[in-house]
Amino acid sequence: MGNASETFLLVSRISKDNDFLMGTLYTIFGVLSVLGNGILLFVAYRKKSSLKPAEFFVVNLAISDLGMTITLFPLAIPSAFAHMWLFNQTVCIVYAFCGVLFGLCSLTNLTVLSCVCWLKVCCPNYGNKFSYCHACLLVACIWCYAGAFAVGPLSGWGEYGAEPYGTACCINWHAPSQNPVAMSYIICLFFFCYIVPCTVIFLSYTFILLTVRGSRQAVQQHMSPQNKITNAHALIVKLSVAVCIGFLTAWSPYAIVSMWAAFGNPATVPPMAFALAAIFAKSSTLYNPIVYLVFKPNFRKSLCRDVAQCRRTLCGCLCQRSSTQKGMCRQSHHKEECNSTRLSNGLPENHRTCRHCPCPETATGTRGNCTDSPQQTARILKGSQHSEVAVSQLSNEMQSDFL
């Protein structure tokens, strides 16, 4: 990145207003992504003993989204506000590597998740045998698959460079027009990391929807424990479809613009087109926590339970801190409140006691007899005058009416 042409690519090629807008959006996306994915991982950790094998991919998706947020946004945000790439060539390559690694990991993770859902719904005899060991093995394969394409440009198969809009780094989309090796990398990347995953996801959920539609009436007529398990899997399928649609919607614009630059004339691609595609791509980190924390019952219940526990702990600390002050207040105002707190009819507010202390304490620290408290009185209106008498002096009939 030492010649003049590459140095020019490190300077923003869009307006300062657009860069400011990108920096603002990246800031919002980054904060929401860290909060959402962090909370999702916290909830998953709290309920780790009850996680299903299919939910391992949900956790892995949150990890890859959080990894993309932590590694990309702190570099992209200041560069966007500064209207240029602020860091050196090494940081640019690391930025591009992390973007490809975590992005491909998320897409591959969704592809495998769709296959697992298809196996459980359409082939239950095999799907019911899907275990935690199978899930862990597939998660490891996901990272290896994404890592192979992310390491490629570092080993000479393809190139990393500046984005066409100038304030971020990714795959060098200008290289395929000059280097056949870079062209082969772009073709393999587009085919194995976009066409194949999209096809597998589309076919998997198509077969799932057809299977569910065909067996809906039978499930409604025969509700057995096995059907209830199937309904639980159906909920995972619905949530997975929502995540996949959101993710593919976010990454499809970037894939289209990238192929336009790789197989066409890069000079004809507007820099703002790449900038908008990058905004959509980075927004993909928000969909996973929103869908799973808002719509998935067990994650939502676990989150509500943890929040309630935190509130109880906080309130307990505050109450313990103020308990001494409350005790002193009760002792200082005990006599005054018992004697002066009365209703409009002359009765004390809580018959024969104050509202805080059921019975007064004696000097020895033991509870005294409550009969020593002030007498209950009543005001009797006669014409324009009224008099106050003790309730015990009223007749039985008047006492029953008064009480």
Question: Would you state the pLDDT for residue 135?
Answer: 94
Higher pLDDT, 288 or 56: 56
pLDDT tops 90 at residue 125? no
In angstroms, the CA 273 to CA 68 distance is 21
pLDDT at position 329, please?
A: 52
Higher pLDDT, 58 or 224: 58
Q: Which two tokens stand for residue 292?
A: 């799973």
327 against 156, higher pLDDT: 156
pLDDT > 90? residue 212: no
pLDDT surpasses 80 at 333: no
More confident residue, 250 or 75: 75
What residues form DSSP beta bridges with 388? 379
**What tens digit of pLDDT does each residue of 252-265 get?**
898 899 888 888 88
CB of 199 closer than 8 Å to CB of 111: no
Domain boundaries of the chain, sorted by first residue: 10-220+231-309
Does the pLDDT at position 10 exceed 50?
Answer: yes
Q: Per-residue pLDDT averaged across 183-209, rounded?
A: 89
Q: What is the pLDDT of residue 268?
A: 86
Average confidence score pLDDT of the chain: 77
pTM (two decimals): 0.72
Q: Please determine, for residue 210, whether its predicted confidence score (pLDDT) is greater than 60.
A: yes
Residue 99 has pLDDT above 70, yes or no: yes
Does residue 372 register a pLDDT over 60? no
Q: What is the pLDDT of residue 121?
A: 82
Give the mean pLDDT of 344-352: 45
Q: Comparing 23 with 401, which gets the higher pLDDT? A: 23
Confidence at residue 51, expressed as pLDDT on a 0 to 100 scale: 84
Q: Which fold has domain 10-220+231-309?
A: Rhopdopsin 7-helix transmembrane proteins (1.20.1070)
Question: What pLDDT, on a 0 to 100 scale, did the predictor assign at position 236?
Answer: 62
Q: Which of 44, 39, 204, 193 is nearest to 119 (CA)?
A: 204
pLDDT of residue 349: 44
Share of the chain above pLDDT 70, in %: 68
HEC letters along the chain: CCCHHHHHHCECCCCHHHHHHHHHHHHHHHHHHHHHHHHHHHHHHHCHHHCCCCHHHHHHHHHHHHHHHHHHHHHHHHHHHHCECCCCHHHHHHHHHHHHHHHHHHHHHHHHHHHHHHHHHHCHHHHCCCCHHHHHHHHHHHHHHHHHHHHHHHHCCCCEEECCCCCCEEECCCHHHCCHHHHHHHHHHHHHHHHHHHHHHHHHHHHHHHHHHHCHHHHHHCCCHHHHHHHHHHHHHHHHHHHHHHHHHHHHHHHHHHHHHHHCCHHHCCHHHHHHHHHHHHCHHHHHHHHHHHHCHHHHHHHHHHHHHHHHHHHHHHHHHHHHHHHHHHHHHHHHHHHHCECCCCCECECCECCCCCCCECCCCCECCHHHCCCCEEEEEECCEEEEEEHHHCCHHHHHHHC
